[in-house]
Chain A
Amino acid sequence: MAEREVKVYTRFNRLWHWSQAGSILLLFFTGARVMGLHTLMPFQLAVVLHSAVALALLLLWAFATFWLFTTGAWKQFLPSQMGLWKVLRFYAYGVFHGEQHPYRKILRRRHNPLQALAYLALKTVLFPAIWISGLAYLGYALWDDADTSGWGLWVVANIHLLAAFAIASFVVVHVYLLTIGHGFREHVRPMITGFERVTLTPEQEAYLRQEDPSLVKTDS
């Protein structure tokens, strides 16, 4: 068993992450404008940008979903109770007492159990909530005849806003957690270079070196 710099984030994975991050920030900014939380751009521009970026992000999600299922990468997000308690205990207690993070990344599971659970919730609850309500909102003209009271639109708008703020909360916590442990820059780097320190069994290391030497950095 040895820790090695292994390429865990493929180029598509990184492109996906950063375009999603950029899009979500742009959606927060334009969405907040539409809600009247700021007036830093004209309302009309905000509406057009919000719709355009949202549609582009939906397209990206379609590709990402395809990628997740065809490459098997979806298994990374399967929930597991193994070690969940330890991670929770670490964030609630250990981190204040100089303990080491209990989770060791392995090739199959690059996320700790809490992370996996959070990402799974994001992908299966919040993201569907935001895009389903968003499409309903955007396509209101297609169903407004069935919504004479306007109650349906009100519900859609409220779901959209609640989901948006929940995603914003996720972003806040997500970015904060990067400061824990080796530090912010250390934690962001893998999503840029693709390489992350992962515990490899000798068999895994041998396999990776045989398969494609560029996937593992020789020095450790």
Chain B
Amino acid sequence: MPGLVRTLRRAWGLVAVLPLIGAALAEEAPALPGSDSTADHSKLEALKGPFTSGPEVTKACLSCHTEAGDQVMHTIHWTWDYSHPVTGQILGKKNVINSFCGNVSVNETRCTSCHAGYGWEDTRVAAPADPTRVDCLACHDRSGQYSKLDNKAGNPPLFPVAPKAKTITGKDAVVVDLAKAARSVGMPGRDNCGSCHFYGGGGDNVKHGDLSSALISPALSTDVHMSPDGENFTCESCHVSNRHALAGSRYNVVAKDEADPHLLGQRRDVATCESCHSNRPHSVTPVGMKLNDHTDRVACQTCHIPEFARGGVATKTLWDWSTAGKLRNGKPFAEEDFTQSDGKHLHTYLSTKGSFEWGENVVPYYAWFNGQVEYTLPGETFDLDGPLEVNRIGGSASDPGARIWPFKRMVGKQAFDPELKTLLFNHVYGPETDTAFWTNFDWDKSIAAAMSYVGQPYSGKFEFVDTVMYWPIAHMVAPADQALACESCHARAGRLAGIQGIHIPGTGLPPGGLAGLVLLGLAALGVVGHGFLRVVARAGGQSGKGGDHG
């Protein structure tokens, strides 16, 4: 007996020691320094510099990344030109008119300051077919000090920087150290994409409403994915890239991604919620299953982005060009009557641009959307019947590929040719010319010069018409507990009150319910009438009591 106990004790001792032995065997090498890249760019001879221009840096990049320049030049970031595979429309920044600054052509060196290249000075022709003109640093600089001037066709501020020069993010321009930027390169961060995309339309969050500087380091409540307190996503976590082409499009949107669950977690070149979350994203609980019933008709964004322009940066909601050009004592002036939540005053009138309205934490406009966006292209004629739709969003309840999506509905007043019934181009930028509106405040000259530059017909007459433009909202996803509650839509005058062609319980009784209500009313009336007659009869001396009940 004691022998057995001893043996057991020994065995137990061995078992207790085993994990220690395991730990010793499994001891790992010290953690690797640096990033997960196989190259430390700060050690590369080619990037030592000094560099005197952007293209010189690009040349150094291309000495190893031989195909990168060509790849970029095949993407919309470079071409600003997009041939829509469904509608056949020729879109892209180079071709469309929007309800913000209007048009790129004739205002080039300012508008092309956000081009992913250097020196595109005439957008009537394609960007220069030279790989060294690709701007690698705009996307890959991780030193944080690279920038692009706001009026030099994409070139960075180099010595000497002109006084009062500004960058594309509106900051005072500072001389860029190109060699430092070149040695810092890495995968794009939120700030890289943001330096153009957060400032579209001429300022922070002006254009999109769901893309602002608030996303550079957002609070969890502003963007659950991009917040450092959340998933700390970069833009490319969703907008996956393939040979420098990024997934996602505002012209041809994947409005309903019927993801095959087998592909979950695999790399697919789509920037949809479903590509990670599937189209049955909610838990298998009574509530979760009911929510999953919604995903075929309601976009994820509709509930999970309850408002846009969150995180403290307002977005422009109205831009009225018709009031532009007023002068005080012969000089342009500005009014700043909108106060942002951080106390910052935003302009509500500029002599150069007209009148504005702003919004923060804006409730979206909702509409059926199948992903197809058609534009009112230059030269396209139409009769005015209500506001002119600068772009039109496709889809309806009867379209199985359509879901209810949130949009920023931008309201504007823009120049229109009342005889030819076309949208007009404007020439606003060009300090040296006598036709640029921002210098001369003369619409006649500005429009005539612009129309002549782009070679489009112009009757010589213009007026300002009401316009609307729709921008799909897909960013600033809130934490789940801040998603919309059922009542937001399932209520009279709820958020989807304007949506046609779908049964939404709680928005009012449909015919069957109304008929039923009438039936119930009649039953109640009959009972009250019957009871009343019994009381009257009883008062008249006859017993209202019968025999048995029914």
Binding site for B on A (CB under 8 A): 34-37, 39, 42-44, 47-48, 51-52, 87, 90-91, 94-105, 112, 114-115, 140-141, 144, 148-150, 153-154, 157-166, 168-170, 172-173, 176-183, 187
Contacts and interface: CB of A to CB of B under 8 A. Distances in A.
A161 B510 contact: yes
Contacts of A154: 503, 510
Given A96-B533, A112-B550, A161 B513 contact: yes
A158 B485 contact: no
A43 B490 CA distance: 8
Name the residue among B487, B492, B548 with the largest chain A CB count within 10 angstroms.
B548
B520 A158 contact: no
Interface of B: 286-287, 289-290, 292-293, 296-297, 397-398, 400, 485-487, 490-492, 501-503, 505-513, 515-517, 519-520, 522-524, 526-527, 530-531, 533-534, 536-537, 542-550
Given A144-B296, A169-B519, A181-B548, 5 more contacts: A42-B485, A98-B543, A101-B550, A157-B505, A176-B531
A96 B513 CA distance: 34
A35 B548 contact: no
Contacts of A141: 289, 292-293, 296
B537 A42 contact: no
Main secondary structure of the interface of A (DSSP, over half): helix
11 contacts: A39-B487, A39-B491, A95-B544, A99-B546, A103-B547, A158-B513, A159-B512, A161-B512, A166-B519, A169-B523, A172-B524
Contacts of A90: 546-547
A42 B506 CA distance: 12
B383 to A, nearest CB: 31
Nearest to B401: A148
Contact of A182 (B287, B506, B531, B545): B545
A59 B517 CA distance: 28
A43 B397 contact: no
Q: 7 tightest CB-CB pairs across the interface, nearest first?
A: A165-B516, A101-B547, A158-B512, A169-B523, A98-B543, A161-B513, A100-B547
A166 B512 CA distance: 11
A158 B508 CA distance: 12
Nearest to A31: B505
A178 B547 CA distance: 11
Contacts of A99: 546-547
Nearest to B537: A96
B520 A165 contact: yes
Nearest to A99: B546
Given A36-B508, A161-B513, A177-B550, A96 B534 contact: yes
Given A36-B506, A102-B547, A161 B516 contact: yes
